[in-house]
A and B are shown apart, each in its own frame.
Chain A
Amino acid sequence: MKFLLLFEWLTAFSLFLLMIKGETMLAFCVLIFSFIYLFGLLESRKDPQRIRAHAMVGGIMFFVVAALTFLNDLARLELKFNLSRALLILLGVIGLIQARAVRKHFK
Chain B
Amino acid sequence: MTIRVALCGNPNVGKTSLFNALTGMRQYVANWPGVTVEVKEGVRSWRGHQLIITDLPGTYSLLATSLDEKIARDFLLYKTPDVVVVIADALSMEQGLYLLLEILELEARAILVVNAIDEARQKGLVIDRQELSKHLKVPVVLTSALTGEGIQDLLDCIVSTASTEQKRVLFNFSDKTEKMIQQLAALIKAQVGEAASRWFAIKYLEGDPHVVERLSQLVLKSVAKPGNLKSQIARERYDHIQLIVKESIMAISKELSMSEAIDHVLTHKFIGIPIFLALMYLAFNFAFETVQPLSDFLEGTFSHLAELTKARLGEGMVTSMIADGILGGVGAVLAFVPNIFALFFLLGIMEDSGYLPRAAFVMDRVMYSLKLSGRSFMSFLLGFGCSVPAVLSTRGIPDVRERIVSVLSVPFVSCSARLPVYLLIASIFFSRNQGVVVFSIYVLSMFAAMISSLVLNRTLFKGQKGIFVLELPRYRLPSFRNLALYTWLRGKHFLVKAGTIIFISSLVLWALMYFPDPNDVTRSFAAQIGKAVSLVLRPLKFDWRASTALFFGVAAKEIIVSTFGMLFNTQGETLTEQLSQLFDPVTAYSFIVFVMAYIPCFATLATIKSELGTKYAVISVIYSFSMAYVLALAVRMIGGIFA
Point out residues on A near B: beta carbons under 8 Å.
24-26, 28-29, 32-33, 35-36, 39, 49-50, 52-54, 56-58, 61, 64-65, 68, 71-72, 75-76, 103, 106-107
Contact = CB atoms under 8 A, between A and B. Distances in A.
A53 B278 contact: no
Residue among B256, B281, B291, B439 having the largest count of chain A Cβ atoms under 10 Å? B256
A92 B436 CA distance: 23
A36 B256 contact: no
B290 interface: yes
Contact of B290 (A24, A35, A54, A75): A75
Contacts of B268: 39
Nearest to A102: B261
A53 B274 contact: no
B282 A68 contact: yes
Interface string B261-278: 110111010110011011
B271 A106 contact: no
Contact of B256 (A35, A54, A58, A106): A106
A103 B268 CA distance: 19
B interface secondary structure, majority: helix
B351 to A, nearest CB: 16
The 9 closest A-B pairs by CB, nearest first: A53-B261, A57-B265, A29-B278, A107-B257, A32-B274, A32-B278, A106-B258, A72-B290, A49-B256
Contacts of A39: 265, 268, 270-271
A57 B353 CA distance: 14
B626 interface: no
Given A103-B258, A106-B258, A68 B265 contact: no
A35 B123 CA distance: 30
Contact of A107 (B258, B275, B279): B258
Contacts of B271: 32, 35-36, 39
A58 B278 CA distance: 13
A76 B293 contact: yes
A interface secondary structure, majority: helix
B292 interface: yes
Nearest to A76: B293
A106 B474 CA distance: 14
B293 A106 contact: no
Interface residues of B, number: 34
Given A35-B271, A106-B256, A68 B285 contact: yes
11 contacts: A25-B435, A25-B436, A39-B270, A54-B264, A54-B265, A71-B286, A72-B290, A75-B291, A76-B289, A107-B123, A107-B258
B256 A71 contact: no
Contacts of B252: 107
B253 interface: yes
A64 B275 contact: no
Contacts of A49: 255-256, 261
B124 interface: yes
Contact of A56 (B261, B275, B292, B436): B261
Contact of A61 (B257, B275, B293, B439): B275
Contacts of B261: 49-50, 52-53, 56-57, 106
Interface string B395-438: 00000000000000000000000000000000000000001100
A28 B280 CA distance: 13
Contacts of A72: 285-286, 289-290
Nearest to B264: A53
B281 A29 contact: yes
Contacts of B274: 32, 35
Contacts of A24: 436
Contacts of A103: 258
A33 B285 CA distance: 17
Given A36-B271, A39-B270, A25 B281 contact: yes
Nearest to B283: A68
A27 to B, nearest CB: 11
A53 B290 contact: no
A58 B271 CA distance: 12
Nearest to A64: B282
